[in-house]
Amino acid sequence: MPFHQIHPNPAYDPGFRLDLDGRARFLHEGFTVDIQVRPATVEDMPPFLREVPPYAVMMIGTVTMEGVVLCEVAEGANERESARMREALEAVLPRAVELARRTVVGMAMRIEEIDRERNPAAG
């Protein structure tokens, strides 16, 4: 999947880059997806793992529109394995966009329902 990175330094290479805070921003299917990579914690691990593997990170994708956070999705990766980091990004971007779309549809339906309940004659 080709990436369209818009922050930081998008033209440096065909992969992707993070800033010093572990952040990046991508344009995916018309949506701006903010990426944050942070060290994984024990809470991020499946129940059968009681410790965090070396170099484990969580890649979190967030879509915000008009100041409203529509979604946040996460994927585990290993910061020392570039292929795994790329796989995580390839998983996070489309999942974030799909969840953002579903959230907006759900919100619109709920608003219509509220409007119908408040004004039955208009529905």
**How far, rounded to the nearest angstrom, does the alpha carbon of residue 69 sit from its chain's CA centroid?**
11
Q: How far apart are CA 60 and CA 47, in angstroms?
A: 20
89, part of any domain:
yes
113, part of any domain:
yes
The boundaries of the domain holding residue 9 are 5-118
Number of domains in the chain: 1
100, part of any domain:
yes
Q: How far apart are CA 70 and CA 52, in angstroms?
A: 29
Q: Tell me, what's the pLDDT at 97? A: 97
Segment 110-115 shows an average pLDDT of: 93
Each residue of 71-103: pLDDT tens digit?
999 999 999 998 999 999 999 999 999 999 999
Average per-residue pLDDT in the chain? 90
Each residue of 33-50: pLDDT tens digit?
999 999 999 999 888 888
Take residue 109 and report the two structure tokens written for it: 């339906």
